[in-house]
Amino acid sequence: MRAQNRTIKGVDWFTVLLYLFMVGFGWVNIYAVNTDPDTLVFFDYSKEYTKQIVWIGVSFVTIGVIMLTDSKFFVEFSYVFYAITTFLLILVIFIGVEINAAKAWFQIGGMRFQPVELAKVATALAVARVMCRFQFSFYNISDILRLGTLIFLPILIIIIQNDTGSGIVLLALFIAFFREGLSPYVFVFGFVAIAVFILTMIIPNHSIILILSVAFILMVLFNRFRKEALIMTAISVVFFGVGAAIFKTAGGGVNYDVALLIAMAASSIFLAIKALLRRLPKLGVLLIFFWGTVAFTYSTDYVFEEMLGEYQRNRILVMLGLKDDPLGVGYNVNQSKIAIGSGGLLGKGFLQGTQTKFNFVPEQSTDFIFCTVGEEWGFLGTSIVVLLFVILLLRLIFLAERQHSDFSRIYGYGVASIFFFHVAVNIGMTIGLAPVIGIPLPFFSYGGSSLWGFTILLFIFLKLDTNRTQLLR
């Protein structure tokens, strides 16, 4: 097979067409945001849509370069690529320019470039490289450490840049890990941790402990330890009653936290003895899980109340939708919903939107570009865009599954995971279903480096896909 042949042959044209359509439609919306129907100038060289055209051109050239590169190159150089982007991530902290409080941009002439876009590609490649090794296992400590470092090192650096939103994106790679055999309990545990984290902010600690205690006893019950569960309940109630009574007689008010903890400690001791005597490791795991979450509750509470400032606390509360902020972040979401809602079924038509121009909606061309789609193209437009993204994601899964080499498959899932996270959070945020995290909508949002980064991310996979029947290592 000759090199030129491989360049185009076997490319998944379906995905390429999806890509072209999205980039084109994205540009149309950026054009709409930047055009005032009052002063109709058809083309203005200083506008965002002109710059975006330049970046689209750059992306097309890059696609050519990727297609001409040997697939093996991406496997071989994945670590080098990772090292270079990590270096760039650190470098930008020192020589980058600050935009929206995040020091995450290189400025070269009039163009700005965000190295985090390349870091996503590099991390996905490096992760695929680590995991495609023959002996890789999620139950091997050194493998887990290696994989964890690959993911959390860039996240840490990006958080130092104060661009937390972009950092969180890399956590999406856990979806790829799930496909490769990561235990679903990791996700259950993660979900519980997030739930507890949010709960600590909205309800008092003793209520959380109560919920956890009930859940604990129920878990004991459903693991077919009916008798133990009943005895535990009895011990807990008695000790709680005694504890509360002591507090009452001591004169002060009842400290429910402490009373509950005493009650649960008593029943836990009972359970621990039972587990040791009857050799029941399952009960031990449950015990560790319960006290782990209790400890997590208190540490979260401590960090939140004692270590964070008022401003940071509010910011988190607003982001989680636990606090109204009609003039800050909440205002953005409200404006965004109004813009999308005003589109109706068919939208107001191209360039006819009023809500998404001139600062009604902030960041209209970048993070909130979906509002323009909603306002000018209506439900028809938005549902088609959502559908196209879902189709793209499913197509990527399909392509990933048909790879013969593990590297290509894992990378394919990495690409799908990153795209999914961006789409879910970005669109979710504009319609009030996700917290406001400023990350772009792939192919739609204005911004050269994000378009370029997403293009590279996608087309490296499409290139690998042309060699799907070969074993790349």
Partner 1 sequence: MGNSNRAIIIGLFFGMIGLIFIIRLFVLQIVDPSYKFSAESNTQRKITEFPTRGLIYDRNGKLLVSNQPVYDLMIVPREVVPFDTVDFCNALNITRSELDRLFEEVRFNLQRRRISSFRPSVFYKQLPAEQYAILQEKLYKFKGFFVQRRTVRKYEYPNAAHVLGYVAEVGETLLQSDPYYSLGDYTGISGIERTYETFLRGQKGARYVMVDVHGREMGSLRGGRMDTSAVAGSDVALTLDIELQAYGEKIMQNKIGSIVAIEPSTGEILALVSSPSYDPSLLVGRQRSRNFPILSSDTLSPLLNRAIMSGYPPGSTFKVLMALVGLQENVLSPTTRYPCHQGYTARGIHVRCRPHASPISLVPSIAVSCNTFYCHVFRNVLDNPIHGSPQEGLEQFRNYLLNFGLGTRLGSDFFNENRGFVPTRGYYDRIYNGRWGSLTVLSLGIGQGEILTTPIQMANMTAAIANRGHYFTPHVIKEIENDTIPSRFKVPHHTGIDSVHFGPVIDGMEESVWSDVGATARIARIPGISISGKTGTAQNPHGENHSIFVAFAPKDDPKIAIAVYVENAGYGSTYAAPIASLMVEKYLNRAIHSSRGWIETRMMNANFINESTE
- Site for partner 1, rule CB under 8 A: 36, 38-39, 175, 178-181, 184, 326-327, 331, 334, 337-338, 340-345, 348, 352-354, 357-360, 374, 378-379, 382-383, 386-387, 389-390, 393-394, 397, 400-401, 413, 416, 420, 424, 427-428, 431, 433
Q: How far is the CB of 326 from partner 1 (least distance, A)?
A: 4
Helix ranges restricted to H, 279-368: 281-302, 310-319, 329-341
Beta-carbon contacts of residue 373 (< 8 Å; ≥ 6 apart): 25, 29, 381, 382, 385, 444
Q: How far is the CB of 388 from partner 1 (least distance, A)?
A: 10
- The radius of gyration of the chain from alpha carbons, rounded to an integer in Å, stands at 26
Q: Which is nearer to partner 1, 163 or 325 (CB)?
A: 325
Q: How far is the CB of 383 from partner 1 (least distance, A)?
A: 5
Beta-carbon contacts of residue 70 (< 8 Å; ≥ 6 apart): 3
Q: How far is the CB of 286 from partner 1 (least distance, A)?
A: 22
Helix ranges restricted to H, 164-255: 164-168, 173-179, 184-202, 205-222, 226-249
Q: Which is nearer to partner 1, 299 or 383 (CB)?
A: 383
Q: Which is nearer to partner 1, 4 or 359 (CB)?
A: 359
CA distance 244 to 248: 6
Any idea what the Cα angle at residue 118 is, between residues 160 and 154, rounded to 5°? 30
| Cα dihedral 157→162→165→171 (10° resolution) | 20
Q: Which is nearer to partner 1, 230 or 433 (CB)?
A: 433
Q: Which is nearer to partner 1, 228 or 406 (CB)?
A: 406
Are 372 and 431 in contact, with CB atoms under 8 Å apart?
Answer: no
CA distance 318 to 331: 11
Q: How far is the CB of 354 from partner 1 (least distance, A)?
A: 4
3-state class (DSSP) for residue 165: helix
Q: How far is the CB of 342 from partner 1 (least distance, A)?
A: 6
Q: Which is nearer to partner 1, 254 or 351 (CB)?
A: 351
